[in-house]
């Protein structure tokens, strides 16, 4: 088991290298020249050349990549072209709102979607099942920003239950923190819930056909025990897998949700950086998100052993 964890952690290194290479290539692939942007409209080609040289943009690709990668390994993500602040500090300032949003969304989605899928599978073919499936289609097809604005309109402006926008740090109390996150989290989770509920239903439908479910019934086990112990534990591996894959959905959605609800998080930072072609910031944020994604999926792989004793590493 321990050896396996080490192996898996080591196996993430090539993945991260490829990601880093790709992120670094953005500079070349993306249209627009940061030197020209910084130099401004009045600059002469010589000015632009000078700025490019001062940024080190004139050196060969391999040299720049190795140097950049070496810095990153030591935790130095570079200096923002625009604000002249270290990227790592900029990310550190913005990470709490985004992390909070993602954690609350994740918890909300799992707590709602899994029981929803279980009940839909149990009552397969009934109106409950059809309602869940209809919601799943809807949740997946309506964009996050539409859900976000609709929620803000009714529950913040109309009913005044939650703040319209903004973010309150956790250090100012759990209540205010959560109340600011409810609407964004609901908006962000709708597609995620749809995804998890569908997979839960499909997997549970298959598991409920199995002989050991009949054995559990013959023992006199109640419906809830059968569904949530005997069946769900067997269905867990595909479900947690899709939860992990869905993290990508959350990352993309978080960027949009933060814009809708004016949350000062990494999503906003990313959008601003893209608009300004602030490459070190873009690279830093994309690397961070990739790292989180790889890490979460590693944890999920390891969690399989908790659910299924046949999986041993």
Partner 1 sequence: MALLEVENLQTHFRTPDGGVNRAVDGLSFSVEAGETVAIVGESGCGKSVTSMSILRLIPEPPGQLAGSIRFQGKDLLKLTEREMRAIRGNEISMIFQEPMTSLNPVLSIGQQIGEALRLHQGLSKQQAEAKAVEMLTLVGIPAPDKRVKEYPHQLSGGMRQRVMIAIALACNPKLLIADEPTTALDVTIQAQILDLMRDLKHRVGAAIVLITHDLGVVAEVAERVIVMYAGRKVEEANVADLFRNPRHPYTQGLLGAVPKLGSSLEGETERLAEIPGLVPSLKQKIQGCVFASRCPKVTELCREVAPALEEKAPRHVAACHYAEREAIAA
> Which position has the token pair 């625009």?
82
CB of 202 to partner 1, least distance (A): 18
CB contact at 8 A, 136 and 197 = yes
- Both tokens of 74, joined, read 């030591």
Nearer to partner 1 by C-beta: 129 or 278? Answer: 129
Q: How far is the CB of 123 from partner 1 (least distance, A)?
A: 12
- As given in the structure block, the two tokens for residue 65 are 């990549």
Query: How far is Cα 122 from Cα 280, in angstroms, rounded to an integer?
Result: 51
How far is it, in rounded angstroms, from Cα 71 to Cα 78?
8
How many CA atoms lie within 13 Å of 204's alpha carbon, on the beta-carbon side? 28
Under 8 Å between Cβ of 119 and 132: yes
**Residue closer to partner 1, measured from CB, 183 or 207:** 207
| Structure-token match 């002989």, residue found | 211
CB of 203 to partner 1, least distance (A): 13
CB of 199 to partner 1, least distance (A): 18
Nearer to partner 1, 133 or 213 (CB): 213
CB neighbours of residue 295 within 10 Å = 14
Tell how far CA 211 is from the center of its chain: 37
Q: How far is the CB of 306 from partner 1 (least distance, A)?
A: 10
Closer CB to partner 1, residue 45 or residue 220? 220
Q: Which long-range contacts does 55-64 make (Cβ < 8 Å, 24+ apart)?
A: 55/81, 57/27, 61/28, 64/24
Widest pairwise Cα distance in the chain: 85
Q: How far is the CB of 212 from partner 1 (least distance, A)?
A: 4
CB of 8 to partner 1, least distance (A): 22
Q: Which residue, 127 or 174, is less far from partner 1 as judged by CB?
A: 127
Find where tokens 């023992």 sit. 219
Instruction: Enter the tokens of residue 251.
Output: 């990352």
Backbone CA torsion sign across 260, 261, 266, 268: positive
Can you give the binding site for partner 1, defined by CB under 8 A? Answer: 210-212, 214-222, 229-230, 233-234, 307-310
Number of Cβ within a 10 Å radius of residue 281 = 27
Residue 66 vs 215, nearer CB to partner 1: 215
The distance of closest approach from Cβ of residue 208 to partner 1 in the complex, given in angstroms and rounded to an integer, is 11
Q: Which is nearer to partner 1, 18 or 229 (CB)?
A: 229
- Provide the β-strand partners of residue 86: 79
Residue 278 near residue 81, CB atoms below 8 Å: yes
Minimum CB distance to partner 1 smaller for 79 or for 205: 205
């Amino acid at each position: 088991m321990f050896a396996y964890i080490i192996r898996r952690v080591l196996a993430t290194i090539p993945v991260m290298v490829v990601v880093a290479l790709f992120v670094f290539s953005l500079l070349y692939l993306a249209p627009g020249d940061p030197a020209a942007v910084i130099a401004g409209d009045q600059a002469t080609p010589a000015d632009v050349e000078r700025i490019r040289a001062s940024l080190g943009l004139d050196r060969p690709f391999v040299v720049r990549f190795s140097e950049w990668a070496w810095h990153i390994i030591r935790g130095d993500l570079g200096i923002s072209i625009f604000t002249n602040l270290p990227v790592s500090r900029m990310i550190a300032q913005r990470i709490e709102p985004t992390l909070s949003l993602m954690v609350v969304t994740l918890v909300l989605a799992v707590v709602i979607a899994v029981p929803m899928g279980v009940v839909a599978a149990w009552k397969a073919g009934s109106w409950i099942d059809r309602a869940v499936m209809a919601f799943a289609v809807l949740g997946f097809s309506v964009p996050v920003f539409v859900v976000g604005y609709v929620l803000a309109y009714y529950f913040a402006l109309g009913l005044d239950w939650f703040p319209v926008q903004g973010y309150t740090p956790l250090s100012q109390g759990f209540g205010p923190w959560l109340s600011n996150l409810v609407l964004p989290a609901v908006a962000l989770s709708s597609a995620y819930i749809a995804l998890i509920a569908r997979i839960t239903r499909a997997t549970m439908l298959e598991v409920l056909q199995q002989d050991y479910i009949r054995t559990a019934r013959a023992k006199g086990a109640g419906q809830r025990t059968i569904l949530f112990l005997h069946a769900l534990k067997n269905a867990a591996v595909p479900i947690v897998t899709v939860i992990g894959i869905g993290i990508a959905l959350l990352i993309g959605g978080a960027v949009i949700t933060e814009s809708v609800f004016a949350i000062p998080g990494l999503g906003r930072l990313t959008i601003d950086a893209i608009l300004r072609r602030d490459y070190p910031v873009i690279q830093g944020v994309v690397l961070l998100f990739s790292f989180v994604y790889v890490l979460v999926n590693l944890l999920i792989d390891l969690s399989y052993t908790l659910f299924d004793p046949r999986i041993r590493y």
